[in-house]
Amino acid sequence: MVPREDHRIGRVVDGRFRLVEVLGSGGMGVVYRAEHLLLQQEVALKLLHTHLHHHPRGMELKQRFLREARSLARLGRQHPHITPIIDCGVCDDGTLYMAMELLQGEPLCHVIARGPLPPARALDITAQVLRTLIHAHGKGIVHRDLKPDNIMLTRHEGRADFVKVLDFGIAKLLSEAEIPTSISAEEAARELAEGPAQPLTRAGIIFGTPEYLSPEQAQGLPVDQRTDLYAVGVLLWEMLTGRRPFVGTSPLEVVSLHLTAPPDPPSLHCPVPLPPALDQLVLRAMAKDPAERFATAEEFLRALDVVLDQLGRDGTTGLVRLPRLGRWWWRPQVPARRPGPWQAVSRWLGVRGAAAVAAGAMLGGLLALAALLAHLLHAGARPPPPTSPPVAAPAPKATPPPVAEPPPQVPLQDLLEGLERGRSCQERRSAALALMARGDVQALPALERARRRALGRRAPNACMRQELEEAIEQLRSGTRGAHLPP
């Protein structure tokens, strides 16, 4: 929800940020487009709502807002799919603020509003969200409010649909103590319907979006990383079908459906056929019992890769495989070109492949022979022309050889991830060779860590010891006299 007018527009926050316009508003605060006066760059500035200062639990609300900044700082700048925090502080009137990177892109909710996504594109977006959760869950952080509004599709290094996961504001640090308190579905829906007056993330207080709320989260039970995986399953169901799996006239009805109603397979509502493995993947992620879901985001991602392989074999889904890493990515399909002469001949004769080439060559030979016979008959009926001195034919112009298009360059982050987490030593070896060919000195720390894991006969990277040594030596020889990363 974006307010039409805001009296803060034009003001300077904390002497550093000038508010330009309102980007959006939520239960906890308002997000502005702001200008950093010292750095002269645009940022996204989130301010806590003013009316929450006088709330009976205002101190808890401020602590929750600071917890959001602490969660983002804990995630750090190590993952490309997480928006980094730039600064945070307190205004003169006591309002808390947090400055983040200003993203240029489109929310996933706007994309879904135009209709269902192609299965390959939906799985590609889901895979990026799962890789983000692997990083966040490894830091002990659960998002707890994954939904299309919190997923931004941007462009990164020439690649479209690059995912940015937003709003870790209700993230629960697993290291913090929490006393679980079970409540009924009616009480859960009542708290959700009360709006931003009860938006805390402690035990017994429900916070989240009803359409993406897991059953245990709706009842106030303890949550873990499987809660996020349930929301990812709902996201994938919605991307495939263009609608939500549970729709009701009130939050109470939606929460009750999440607690009791089994979801339909997405293939029943998808406009294109889906493989049974994809139905099983989505339904397992949306299981009511957390024990029946995927245990971790890594397990979910492995199962999703299997489905991507099945979709990529038919060649009609827009999937392309990255070189060396062997991963599937979605690429928008280009319109089909008009068939050439040989394709037209093959369609006319009803043959394909080598048979089409042979048929085309035979037809071309017959046409050439007919033209030669016609020329000879025409030349025999005319008197020979007067002889003239021979004229040297001009030398043919040399045609430059065709320039091969360079292969698409794999992002550095994907190569580093393949070196660190490749499923086999051969896959990690391919990533090391690609990093050596890339010549980026930022890869030196990762290559040195991999070399330490290659020591010993039974080391996991023993098969790539020589390649690691060559890659490190090449990168260091090319950067002598320059500052190397630690």
Distance in angstroms (rounded) separating the CA atoms of residues 281 and 233: 8
Of 29 and 353, more confident? 29
HSE-CB at 397 with a 13 A cutoff on CA atoms is 2
- Say whether 130 sits in a helix, a strand or coil: helix
DSSP line for 356-384: HHHHHHHHHHHHHHHHHHHHHHHHHTSPP
CA distance 299 to 301: 5
Query: What is the helix (H) or strand (E) element at residue 203, kind and residue range?
Result: none
pLDDT greater than 70 at residue 186: no
The mean-pLDDT minimum among 96-110, 328-342, 354-368, 409-423 falls in 328-342
Q: Which residues of 234-266 are buried (b: 16+ CB within 10 A; e: fewer)?
A: bbbbbbbbeebbbebeebbebbbbbbeeebebb
Bridge partner list, 37: none
| Cα separation of the two ends of the chain | 45
In whole angstroms, what is the distance from residue 227 CA to residue 217 CA? 7
Model pTM score: 0.59
The catalytic site residues sit at 145
| 3-state SS class at 271 | coil
Q: What is the percentage of the chain residues whose pLDDT exceeds 90?
A: 29
Confidence of residue 146 (pLDDT cuts 50, 70, 90): very high
Domains recognised in the chain with CATH numbers? 12-101 (3.30.200.20), 105-174+181-330 (1.10.510.10), 412-477 (no CATH)
Could you say which DSSP state residue 82 is in?
B
- Among 167, 296, 168, residue whose Cα is nearest residue 224: 296
CB 412 within 8 A of CB 438: yes
Higher pLDDT, 329 or 163: 163
The whole-angstrom separation of Cα 109 and Cα 114 is 9
Both tokens of 246, joined, read 């549970």
Closest by CA to 232, choosing from 113, 134, 326, 110, is 134
For residue 141, what are the CA distances in angstroms to 22, 162, 206?
Answer: 29, 22, 17
Higher pLDDT, 455 or 162: 162
Residue reference for tokens 């495939």: 240
Residue with tokens 């079908």: 241
Phi, psi of 150 (to 5 degrees): -95, 15
DSSP 463: G
Angle at 22 between CA 18 and CA 23, to 5 degrees: 115
Beta strands in 238-364, from DSSP E residues, in sequence order: 319-321, 328-330
Maximal CA-CA distance, the chain: 114
Q: Are 151 and 163 in contact (CB under 8 A)?
A: yes
Higher pLDDT, 403 or 437: 437
pLDDT, one tens digit per residue, over 215-238 is 998 888 989 999 999 999 999 999
- The whole-angstrom separation of Cα 96 and Cα 92 is 9
Token match 């990529």: residue?
312
Q: State phi, psi for 41 to the nearest 5 degrees.
A: -140, 155
Segment 172-183 mean pLDDT: 41
Quick count: other Cβ atoms within 10 Å of Cβ 19? 19
Question: Is 240 a residue whose pLDDT tops 80?
Answer: yes
More confident: 351 or 123? 123
What value does the mean pLDDT of the chain take? 76
Higher pLDDT, 31 or 423: 31
| Distance from C-alpha of 183 to C-alpha of 218, rounded to nearest angstrom | 8
pLDDT tens digits, 380-398: 656 555 665 666 666 666 6
Lowest mean pLDDT among 28-37, 115-124, 471-480: 471-480
Joined together, the tokens standing for residue 2 give 């974006």
Q: Closest by alpha carbon to 125, among 94, 98, 159?
A: 159
The answer to whether residue 246 scores a pLDDT higher than 90 is yes
Q: What is the pLDDT of residue 368?
A: 87
Contact 13, 97 (CB under 8 A): yes
Burial class (CB within 10 angstroms; exposed 0-12, middle 13-18, buried 19+) of 179: exposed
| Cβ count near 442 (within 10 Å) | 14
What per-residue confidence (pLDDT) applies to 284?
A: 97
- The stretch 360-377 carries a mean pLDDT of 82
Extract the tokens encoding 314.
Answer: 């038919």
Angle at 148 between CA 144 and CA 149, to 5 degrees: 85
CA angle (152 as vertex; 5, 336 as ends), nearest 5: 120
Does the pLDDT at position 324 exceed 70?
Answer: no
CA 429 → CA 432, 445, 451, 469, 475, distances in Å? 5, 16, 11, 12, 16
Interval 185-212 mean pLDDT: 52
Q: What pLDDT score does 467 carry?
A: 77
Reported as a pLDDT band with limits 50, 70 and 90, residue 299 is very high
